[in-house]
Chains A and B, each alone.
Chain A
């Protein structure tokens, strides 16, 4: 495993913990409500945004350099 891959794993584990804590705050406070369609859309968007960056960085570290 390259040191670049370690960077990727670290960023998304530690960054992921920060992200999850913030998501729990907005969900438990009711500011992001899953009871409305708009709230569910935002929930998908927030998690999707996280996964999008995770995917892009993963590809840029684990796949693209070896093409």
Chain B
């Protein structure tokens, strides 16, 4: 039977137009991708605001609107907890992990493992991360199809089970593959920037319409059930949504995994023009955009709950408990005029696409940097690896689509994936945290943590009772499948156990002193060495002014340097050999036209107020001769 279709033809037209614009928009940025550095890290040139807003779209994944609107409807304002508990690990991320990966030019977590602990740790890390991410692509496509199927029931495809869903997945997969393979990280960031704005705008438009429908904020607040008005859930009840469970699973394990381990997130921060810019982006994301995003994705549930409180006959679809997971679409359709509902649907698709595109790009990065380049085809030129990255992007998309029927056909695949990710996250993030924070943490203790920690996690699925001492009174759901027992509190057990294994193994191998090359620049205590390596000289910790200089081309400049008059260099607090950043004066380009280059020897013969480069470097940064560029000293 044909399912109920949501929306009018004009809504579907708005959505189709949106998808066409996305493909065109993403493909436009292919011309900015000429090397693997561009493909993976966008040439490390972007401003904080561009990274921040695009990050919102990456953060809001498949099902976010559906999932958090449902949580908002069931539990009220505490649905925002997951988006507002990331600050605890920020100091180490901002001042430890981010500068380490940036200055040491680390492309992936497995690469970090090799440099810190050796090749066997890299292999273990690569296997775990690839399984995690490719499975995650398939899972995102699966949830994407599940979310969109009720919106686009195509009569001709109803005769074969799941054909409708697969058709939707294939269309979205082709769109993502086109722009990711063409433009890499630059296209991902630019499309995610647009999608981030659409997500936030659509979310807040919906909230405004909801408040208007109810008769203002006062009416909304009055009709919201009292127990839904709390910003945090009850401590350890119910098992499905307790505050202590969300704290350990999301605030501790998932937050650290997201910022320290998620390849897509690492690549987003590595695309910043400097660690300082990455720091700004992270601070704005966690302090400003996360709370806003929490409201944008949850409010349909709150509004739905208040509408039901005011007029129980409204939203009759919610009488059926099985349909509460569609509360977002029901509320949106009730509140929006035709056309506006299409915009909300576009936001839903934006949320789905923007997570998948980041993952596809991240998988291509790991495949090229951790398998293809070091093990299969070593020593090839960069164009070869760029072509390989494009092929791997398409391949990762294809494998993701092929995994969808398995998720559809076997509920246990979903279970296996959930159980698998829960099992690998605590050992991996424990190794990263200890590796960054503790020079004594060595190869043996890292491998022990990965192997024994994963074993301890697997054991917790076989014998969930071992989690009870860590459960803080959260009851175990006896009737649930094995992977659902203590699904939140497993994170507490995992973090404590893995941390214990890591610390104990380090003390037992205390005499194993790490070689300098395995710690220099790779721990928070040895970051100065990383800065020296990045710059190729003694780094500066001071910053000067940002100034505007007129860009001049000269064939006489043969070295890859920028020549600047001594007076201007003094204003920049820079000297010969310092790393400079030159960007088009149009701030709204966010660094799209920009260049990192060292300052050359400065003489009074140079004209003040100018920056002189060779034509090839100007072309590389896509800068405009004769126009002003904004110049700053990076390090």
A interface residues (Cβ-Cβ under 8 A, vs B): 2-4, 6-8, 10-11, 14-16, 18-19, 22-23, 25-26, 29, 31-33, 36, 38, 42, 45-46, 49-50, 52-53, 56-57, 59-61, 64-65, 67
Q: Are B235 and A60 in contact (CB under 8 A)?
A: no
> CB-nearest residue of chain B relative to A19?
B88
User: Assuming A10-B243, A15-B247, is B89 touching A22 (CB within 8 A)?
Assistant: yes
Name which of B133-141, B224-232, B511-519 contacts chain A. B224-232
B interface residues (Cβ-Cβ under 8 A, vs A): 77-78, 84-85, 87-92, 94-96, 99, 221, 226, 229-237, 243-244, 247, 251-252, 279, 283, 286-287, 291, 437, 524-525, 527, 541-543
With a cutoff of 8 Å between Cβ atoms, the chain B residues found around residue A2 in the complex are 230, 234
User: Assuming A26-B96, A61-B230, is B237 touching A3 (CB within 8 A)?
Assistant: yes
With a cutoff of 8 Å between Cβ atoms, the chain B residues found around residue A65 in the complex are 226, 229-230
With a cutoff of 8 Å between Cβ atoms, the chain A residues found around residue B236 in the complex are 3
Q: Are B247 and A14 in contact (CB under 8 A)?
A: yes
User: Assuming A11-B251, A15-B85, is B232 touching A61 (CB within 8 A)?
Assistant: yes
With a cutoff of 8 Å between Cβ atoms, the chain B residues found around residue A61 in the complex are 230-232
Most buried by A among B91, B92, B437, B525: B91
Q: Are A10 and B247 in contact (CB under 8 A)?
A: yes
User: Assuming A22-B88, A60-B77, is B233 touching A7 (CB within 8 A)?
Assistant: yes
Distance between B469 CB and nearest chain A CB, rounded to angstroms: 16
B87 is contacted by which of A14, A19, A64, A67 (Cβ under 8 Å)?
A19
Distance between A20 CB and nearest chain B CB, rounded to angstroms: 9
Q: Are A25 and B85 in contact (CB under 8 A)?
A: no
Q: Are B244 and A7 in contact (CB under 8 A)?
A: yes
Q: Are A18 and B90 in contact (CB under 8 A)?
A: no
Q: Are A52 and B232 in contact (CB under 8 A)?
A: no
Complex: how many Å from CA A11 to CA B236?
12
Distance between B81 CB and nearest chain A CB, rounded to angstroms: 9
User: Assuming A29-B524, A29-B527, A31-B524, is B243 touching A4 (CB within 8 A)?
Assistant: yes
Distance between A4 CB and nearest chain B CB, rounded to angstroms: 4
Q: Are A31 and B88 in contact (CB under 8 A)?
A: no
Most buried by A among B226, B237, B247, B524: B524
With a cutoff of 8 Å between Cβ atoms, the chain A residues found around residue B524 in the complex are 25-26, 29, 31
Distance between A1 CB and nearest chain B CB, rounded to angstroms: 11
Distance between B71 CB and nearest chain A CB, rounded to angstroms: 15
Q: Are B229 and A11 in contact (CB under 8 A)?
A: no
With a cutoff of 8 Å between Cβ atoms, the chain A residues found around residue B527 in the complex are 29, 31
Complex: how many Å from CA A35 to CA B170?
56
> CB-nearest residue of chain B relative to A24?
B91
Q: Are A31 and B232 in contact (CB under 8 A)?
A: no
Complex: how many Å from CA A10 to CA B541?
38
User: Assuming A10-B244, A25-B96, is B234 touching A15 (CB within 8 A)?
Assistant: no
With a cutoff of 8 Å between Cβ atoms, the chain A residues found around residue B89 in the complex are 18, 22
B95 is contacted by which of A7, A8, A26 (Cβ under 8 Å)?
A26
Most buried by B among A11, A33, A36, A52: A11
With a cutoff of 8 Å between Cβ atoms, the chain A residues found around residue B231 in the complex are 56-57, 59-61, 64
Q: Are A56 and B95 in contact (CB under 8 A)?
A: no
Pull 16 A–B residue pairs with CB atoms less than 8 Å apart, ordered by A.
A2-B234, A6-B234, A7-B234, A7-B235, A11-B247, A15-B85, A22-B88, A25-B437, A26-B92, A26-B94, A38-B543, A42-B95, A60-B230, A61-B231, A61-B232, A67-B221
User: Assuming A10-B247, A25-B524, is B232 touching A57 (CB within 8 A)?
Assistant: yes
Complex: how many Å from CA A44 to CA B243?
28
Q: Are B235 and A10 in contact (CB under 8 A)?
A: yes
Complex: how many Å from CA A4 to CA B452?
36
With a cutoff of 8 Å between Cβ atoms, the chain A residues found around residue B543 in the complex are 38
User: Assuming A3-B237, A49-B287, A64-B231, is B244 touching A32 (CB within 8 A)?
Assistant: no
Distance between B544 CB and nearest chain A CB, rounded to angstroms: 12
Q: Which 9 A-B pairs have the closest CB atoms?
A: A60-B231, A7-B243, A65-B229, A3-B234, A22-B91, A26-B95, A31-B95, A22-B92, A6-B235
Inter-chain pairs besides A60-B232, A64-B229, 14 sampled, C-beta below 8 Å: A4-B243, A7-B233, A15-B85, A23-B91, A25-B92, A26-B91, A29-B524, A31-B96, A32-B91, A32-B95, A49-B287, A56-B231, A56-B291, A64-B231
Complex: how many Å from CA A14 to CA B243?
13
Q: Are B243 and A18 in contact (CB under 8 A)?
A: no
With a cutoff of 8 Å between Cβ atoms, the chain A residues found around residue B230 in the complex are 2, 4, 60-61, 65
Complex: how many Å from CA A16 to CA B247?
12
Q: Are B88 and A4 in contact (CB under 8 A)?
A: no
Complex: how many Å from CA A67 to CA B286?
28
> CB-nearest residue of chain B relative to A46?
B91
Q: Are A36 and B541 in contact (CB under 8 A)?
A: yes
With a cutoff of 8 Å between Cβ atoms, the chain A residues found around residue B237 in the complex are 3
Complex: how many Å from CA A32 to CA B558?
39
Most buried by B among A3, A22, A26, A49: A22
> CB-nearest residue of chain A relative to B86?
A53
Most buried by B among A16, A25, A46, A52: A25
Complex: how many Å from CA A23 to CA B542?
22
Complex: how many Å from CA A3 to CA B242?
10
With a cutoff of 8 Å between Cβ atoms, the chain A residues found around residue B221 in the complex are 67
A46 is contacted by which of B90, B232, B437, B541 (Cβ under 8 Å)?
B90
With a cutoff of 8 Å between Cβ atoms, the chain A residues found around residue B283 in the complex are 45, 49
Q: Are B95 and A4 in contact (CB under 8 A)?
A: no
With a cutoff of 8 Å between Cβ atoms, the chain B residues found around residue A53 in the complex are 84-85, 87
Complex: how many Å from CA A10 to CA B229?
19
Complex: how many Å from CA A11 to CA B492?
13
With a cutoff of 8 Å between Cβ atoms, the chain A residues found around residue B235 in the complex are 3-4, 6-7, 10
With a cutoff of 8 Å between Cβ atoms, the chain A residues found around residue B229 in the complex are 64-65
With a cutoff of 8 Å between Cβ atoms, the chain B residues found around residue A46 in the complex are 90-91, 94
A52 is contacted by which of B244, B287, B437 (Cβ under 8 Å)?
B287
B91 is contacted by which of A14, A19, A52, A56 (Cβ under 8 Å)?
A19
> CB-nearest residue of chain A relative to B247?
A11
Complex: how many Å from CA A16 to CA B78?
20
Complex: how many Å from CA A40 to CA B435?
27
Q: Are A29 and B244 in contact (CB under 8 A)?
A: no
